[in-house]
Structure 1
Amino acid sequence: MENVVRACTLVDNADGLLIAAGAGIGVDSGLPDFRGNAGFWKAYPPLAERGLPFREMANPASFARDPRLAWGFYGHRLDLYRRTRPHAGFAILRALGERMRHGSFVFTSNVDGQFQRAGFAPDRIAECHGTIHHLQCSRPCRDTTWPADGFAPEVDLARCTLLSPLPGCPHCGALARPNILMFNDMAWVDVPSDAQLMRLERWRTGVERLAVIELGAGTDLPSVRRFTESHGVPAIRINPREHRIVRGVGLAMGALAAMQAIAQEMSIDVS
């Protein structure tokens, strides 16, 4: 509990909260984090049978090679994220930010839209890898994206194959893909993400006493961990396996358990 108390002190002294989130934050909501091929293949047995690793599926080449298989994978994820309810830790994070003069801002590598579903303001979220809830042209024919709201994928889970019609670009008719930064991706439309990061930078300049809470960010893809450490302030790193941090407080806990412990220590009730 000593580290929880230290974490609460960092939050108590802040006038702005930066929430840095990796895939691990969604585990308590029932989402897979694809930790290694073993975790990925456990979530997608048909891809395991074909020996297709995550890096090969999360790749623009997969849409050119087999668009129905690629959209079977991403279509299932889109439907899963639409149906998933964010766990109570998200509400606690919101409550912490609402206590502060400058509120909170989210920086996340997740593409699932869980922070928006949890009630965080869209203009206070930066998605550095894009979002599955917007589509783009696979070519791309222009630097624009559009909401995926009208796309209702029907997927054969036994084969991880899209059964419904493939989505198309409304501008040129080419295959549409998720607006997600993939491996070996030279076609990602980064305009929306860049605008989000600019808003985050403007917000950061107004915060005098920053608190950073990092949740579920691993070392395999260290984008979020590097971002946390780039701010030069003591941070709170929440991770059940990789919690060590040079400057700040590490909590060897899952996101939900850690946020509940912080809420209890700070007498925060979000029920």
Structure 2
Amino acid sequence: MNEKYQKIINKIQDAKGIIIGASNGLSISEGVHIFANNKDFQTNFGDLSVKYGFHSIIEGCFYPFPSEPEKWAFFSRLYNYFLYNKQVSSVMKNLYELIKVKNYFVITSNIDDHFRQAGFAKERLFEIEGNCSNLQCSNSCHDQIYPGDEILSKMNQHQEDGKVPLDLIPCCPVCSGPMQVHVEVDRNFLRGQSWQESYQGYQNFIDNVQGDELVLLELGVGARNKLIKAPLMNLTILHEKATYITFNKGTELFIPDTISSKSIGIDGDISDILQQLVLMK
């Protein structure tokens, strides 16, 4: 196993570019599980679970709350759970330590904003499905994305009986309509200028490392994922000097025969794997 770890370290050190692809498995390794009805969920959302009948964070994200005060009670708690007074996890610290001096770009479907929190540069992030700390107009009447940290924190602190006071609920400064967290939970999700710039930054990064040693570092992406895994695998095929490296558990660790000769996979806990790599670095 040490030989495999050393090979990964060598590939990362020699790479002219690193693309990090991350999904739910990375969050789980941090102790954040949006699909689980676990102790954290019950502590932070238990009363809402009883009232509305959803049993995980992801179900809450898609729940059709009957009013704005109730909707914002959930989403401000979501922000609080992910970010407020939270220290950067050892998982994210180790990941950043591993690649911080490299030419990197991150593509992720995680909405917890933990990459930015850990020090990853905003201009090197493509958060495909948004993140929980930004706001947008629910009517998508204009392209602006707004930082929501202050108002989300305030709404979380002042809610009562599962509702946020009306005077704290944000309204669109353009159309005066309702706002929502910039997370892809419905058809209103805004793929405006900010989203398009992140997407273009990702595409430009790929173009700029054409012909160079490229590492595609995939963290906790499901075996059937089409949003991140399939494109990274395709890049592995297209780029002659690409190496596909994936960390996952059990059957979720999937490497097709078409790229097996250019791939390294480790079956295990991402937290433990990253810790070992940093110690050997």
Q: What TM-score, normalized by structure 2, do the two folds share?
A: 0.80
| Number of the residue aligned with 2:275 | 260
User: What SS does the aligned partner of 1:18 have?
Assistant: strand
* AA at the equivalent of 1:204: I
What is the rounded CA distance, in whole Å, between the counterparts of 2:226 and 2:55 in structure 1?
19
CA distance in 1, matches of 2:159, 2:247: 33
1:177 maps onto 2:180 in alignment: yes
Asked whether the 8 Å contact 1:155–1:162 carries over to 2, the reply is: no
Q: Secondary structure at the match of 1:200?
A: helix
Whether the aligned pair in 2 keeps the contact of 1:134 and 1:148 (CA below 8 Å) is yes
Q: Give the secondary-structure state (helix, strand or coil) at the position aligned to 2:235.
A: coil
TM superposition shift of 1:161: 3.7
Partners of 1:98 and 1:56 in 2: CA distance: 34
More deviation in 120-129 or 12-21? 12-21
Give, in angstroms, the shift of residue 169 of structure 1. 1.2
Gaps of at least 5 residues in structure 1 are 267-271
Which residue of the partner structure matches residue 137 of structure 2? 137
- Check 1:27–1:53 CA distance in 2 against 1; reply closer, same or farther (3 A cut): closer
Deviations 1:195-240 (A, max 9, x none): 1010111122122111121112235765232233231243221123
1:216–1:254 Cα contact (<8 Å) kept: no
State the distance in 1 between where 2:160 and 2:175 align: 32
**Residue 224 (structure 1) aligned with residue 228 (structure 2):** yes
The residue aligned with 1:113 is 113
Q: Secondary structure at the match of 1:136?
A: strand
1:205 counterpart (204, 207, 227) = 207
Could you tell me which residue of structure 1 aligns to residue 75 of structure 2? Answer: 74
Is residue 168 of structure 1 aligned with residue 171 of structure 2?
yes
1:123 aligns with 2:123: yes
Aligned equivalents of 1:221 and 1:71: distance in 2? 30
Q: Tell me which residue corresponds to 1:147.
A: 147
Instruction: Return closer, same or farther for 1:89/1:36 CA change in 2, 3 Å cut-off.
Output: closer
Residues 18 and 214, structure 2, Cα contact 8 Å, conserved in 1: yes
Task: Report Cα offsets for 1:85-110 as digits up to 9, x if no partner.
Answer: 2223333333333443xx11111111
Aligned to 1:235: 244
1:251 aligns with 2:261: no
- Following the alignment from structure 1 to structure 2, what is the Cα–Cα distance between the partners of residues 48 and 29? 23
More helix by share: 2
Q: Alpha-carbon deviations, 1:61-80, whole Å to 9, x = none?
A: 725x3323322221111122
Give aligned pairs, total: 259
Partner residue in 2 for 1:269: none
Structure 2 stretches lacking a partner, 5+ long: 237-241
Q: Would you say the 8 A contact 1:169–1:176 is kept in 2?
A: yes
Q: TM-score, normalised by structure 1?
A: 0.82
Deviations 1:102-156 (A, max 9, x none): x111111112211111111111111000122211111122222211133122268
CA separation in 2, counterparts of 1:4 and 1:87? Answer: 22
Task: Please tell me whether the aligned partners of residues 72 and 156 of structure 1 are also in contact (alpha carbons under 8 angstroms).
Answer: no
Which residue of the partner structure matches residue 57 of structure 1? 60
Post-superposition shift, 1:45? 2.6
C-alpha distance 249-161 of structure 1, shift in aligned 2 (>3 A)? farther
Instruction: Indicate how the Cα distance of structure 1 residues 156 and 229 shifts in structure 2: closer, same or farther if over 3 A, else same.
Output: farther
Match among 193, 196, 201 for residue 194 of structure 1: 196
Contact map agreement 1:243 1:251 (CA 8 A) in 2? yes
